[in-house]
Amino acid sequence: MGVIIFLSLVLLASTTSKDPSPGWSRSVRDSRNMDCERMDGETASARHPGLIEAPGPRGDNIERSALVCRERVMAEGLRPARDEAVLMDLDDTVSGFALAAGSLRSDLTERTWLVEVHYPSAPVSSKIAFAAKNALNSQGLRVSDRAMTLSAGDVSVLTRLPPGEAWPAACRRYAAGGLGEGDALLAVVTRDPRETQLHAGICDRGQWTWLL
């Protein structure tokens, strides 16, 4: 009898559902830590050989797709929620900014691009700047590691202005300072400390333009 129970448990374990939704074998917290993507059978089989069977060459007469779920590297709660939300889609976000910046005007492709980031966390700021520089470079644009500086007096005035006015004003100050005729600045900013969406603007020859 014991052997039967043992064999049954082993067979049960081997057929346990891999459904990522919460249930008897998975808590809500565990499900939230999954990052899932639906893909067709062929793609899934190519990406996960041995785990997902490829559809037959003549098809299976049914529409099949695979839901591939992977556990997030950083579990929920390990990083501040806003940082996690920003970093989760960082590559897509900065690629979108770079694409928009490069395609805004044809003359902008001739500029040397500088990047500035304003985000409450310094480590996350540097990561956003790194990603933005790489994204601009991958668009075929010239990018520089130079950092723009403002005098203490400028900073004192600009930090008291609302973002809608501060950035155009800062752009004018940059143009009067180190941002030359052949340079353009891509600024990635948070306009409201409560939001998780990043915004971008361009400073070119003293003119400020919001991208997104």
Binding residues for other proteins (CB under 8 A): 1, 3-4, 7, 10-11, 13-14, 34-35, 49-51, 53, 70-75, 77-79, 83, 87-91, 112, 121, 123-124, 126-127, 130-131, 133-135, 137-138, 142-147, 149, 151
Query: Which one, of 123, 201, 212, lies nearest residue 166 by Cα?
Result: 201
Which CB atom, from 47 or from 165, has the smaller least distance to other proteins?
47
Query: What is the nearest approach in angstroms of other proteins to the Cβ of residue 164?
Result: 28
Cβ-contact 108, 148 below 8 angstroms: no
Q: What CA–CA distance (Å, rounded) separates 135 from 160? A: 31
Query: What is the nearest approach in angstroms of other proteins to the Cβ of residue 147?
Result: 6
User: Which residue carries 């005729």 as its tokens?
Assistant: 181
Phi/psi of residue 100, nearest 5 degrees: -65, -40
CA atoms within 13 A on the CB side of 136: 29
Which CB atom, from 135 or from 203, has the smaller least distance to other proteins?
135
Cβ-contact 43, 51 below 8 angstroms: no
Which CB atom, from 28 or from 75, has the smaller least distance to other proteins?
75
Query: What is the nearest approach in angstroms of other proteins to the Cβ of residue 52?
Result: 8
Q: What CA–CA distance (Å, rounded) separates 167 from 178? A: 16
Which CB atom, from 37 or from 195, has the smaller least distance to other proteins?
37
Which CB atom, from 12 or from 162, has the smaller least distance to other proteins?
12
Query: What is the nearest approach in angstroms of other proteins to the Cβ of residue 87?
Result: 6
Query: What is the nearest approach in angstroms of other proteins to the Cβ of residue 133?
Result: 6
Which tokens is 184 given?
């353009």
